[in-house]
Every structure is written in C-alpha cells, then in structure tokens.
Amino acid sequence: MIMKGKKGLIVGVANNKSIAYGIAKACKAQGAELAFTFLNEQLEKRVRPIADEFESKIVYELDINNPKHLSKLTESLERDFGKIDFVVHSVAFAPRDALKGGLIDTTREDFNIALETSAYSLISLTAACMPVMNDGGSILALSYLGGAKFIPHYNVMGVAKAALESSVRYLAVDCGKRNIRVNAISAGPIKTLSASGIGDFRMILNWNEANSPLSRNVTTDEVGNSGMYLLSDLSTAVTGEIHYVDNGYNAMGMALATKDKEGKTTLIWDEKNK
C-alpha cells in the first residue's frame, strides 16, 4: 500500500461529503494513520465519528486563527505521533455578507477575516507542523478556480484563494530546504458544506457539467485520490503546483453548452455550427 507507515494530519474535515474527507479516505485506504482537528464543540460532534471510521483516536481542537492552539498542536503531534509525513489544509471562511453583491462591497473587516482564515492559515499551519515533519513530507491545500478567474458570487473568497495559491509557491521554496513539498488541488465544484454559501451554486454545477471536456462534475473520491497522490511518495518531484481536478473545465476558453435548473442541455457550439 502506497501510504503504509505514513502519518498525517487532516485539518478542516466537516462531514463525509467534504473534500478533506475524500482525501482522508484515500490515504487511509492506502495504509496511512490519521489525526484530525475540529474547530468547536458543534463540529467536534461531526469530526469524532469520522475519526472513529478511520480508526483514529487522535483528534485535536484547533482554531486555526488562535496562536495558542497552533503551539499546542505542535506539542500534541510530537507527543502522539513523534513525526508526521503529511498535512492537509482544508480551511476557508468568509462572512456570508461578503459573498453577496460584488467584491467592491466587501468591508475591510470581512476582507481581513477571509484572508486570515483562508490564506494566512496555510502559512501558520505550515510553521506549526514543520518542526514535527519528516524529511520528504508533503503539505496539501485546497483551492478553487475562483482564485485564478472570475466566478460569480465568489467575491472575496476568490481573492483569498489567489493569495492561498501564491502562498503555496512561496512556501514550496521555504519548505523545499527541508525536502518538504507544498502543493494545492483546485477541485471542480462539489456539493459541500462550504459551497452551500455560494449563490446560484446549482447553476455553477450545471454549467461545469455541460462545459467540461468530460461532461460531468468531479466527485470527492476523485479529488481524494489526486490528493493522496500529492501526499505520497509517488509525487516526490512535485511542489509549488496548483493541480486541477475538475474534469478539464479550467482548460476551456469558450462555453459549449448551457444547462437549466432542470438539467436540460442547450448546445451553443457543435459540429453543425463549424
């Protein structure tokens, strides 16, 4: 098994439909030992059953914006695991009001919250985990196309994802001195808890399904397998990359078709229109 003997930390799993869950599932299937974190008491009730499912008793409270929690995390990992081999950063947040209207309507407070939680947290988490990471380790963040291009209703989260992706490249150099890799996956849209806050999300799903080269939406299992690859020794020469797992949608420069809310497809371009 590819991940046999590997130990890793999953930060930000919300439920069994989240991308972090898919990555954890793929890593566990390949023999990895896992530790998990939860933000608060409400989320602890969701995370502990997931940890049990993956035969893990190691679950930590972690507010990613709390320096004391991060300091304690380093100590806890060293106590429970000694050293770890990989970290999954699946943390993003913007106040609901910041996802309404346009980016120009974003308040300074909401901007700072979104950037600190969604981008700076990768830097602070990496700094906390580096002292307990093995040589050849891997850190993986989760991004979205909205960080590279305009996506309706994504607003300040697009700016935060752009900062996250840039942080991946700079951290790859910092961590490369320790032979630790840093990458991100930019997954296609998936019905997750965080996606529920994005307006017209069903339209985004329909549009991606109609216009991606593979004519479907990506699954958490598919993203999970790609994540496992980037965390494993199969990708020892890959770092500083934003790896798209979106059925090729990011490669498209022009729409092929539209889909309405009922799923009916209307072709915009086909062989007849050449």
Residue 229 falls in the annotated catalytic set = no
Q: Tell me how crowded residue 251 is: count the other CB atoms within 10 A of its CB.
A: 10
Which are the contacts of 218, defined by CB distance < 8 A and separation ≥ 6?
A: 187, 188, 189, 190, 245, 246, 247
Active-site entry in 154, 229, 244, 249: 154
Type of residue numbered 24: A
| Burial class of residue 244 in the structure, from the number of CB atoms within 10 Å of its CB (0-12 exposed, 13-18 middle, 19+ buried) | buried
To the nearest 10°, report the CA torsion of 179, 243, 67, 112. Answer: 140
Active-site entry in 21, 60, 144, 244: 144
Calpha distance 5→114 (Å, rounded): 36
Length reported for the chain: 274
Strands 265-267 and 257-259: antiparallel
Task: Give, in order, the Cα–Cα distances in Å from 141 to each of 84, 96, 167.
Answer: 16, 22, 10
Residues with catalytic function: 144, 154
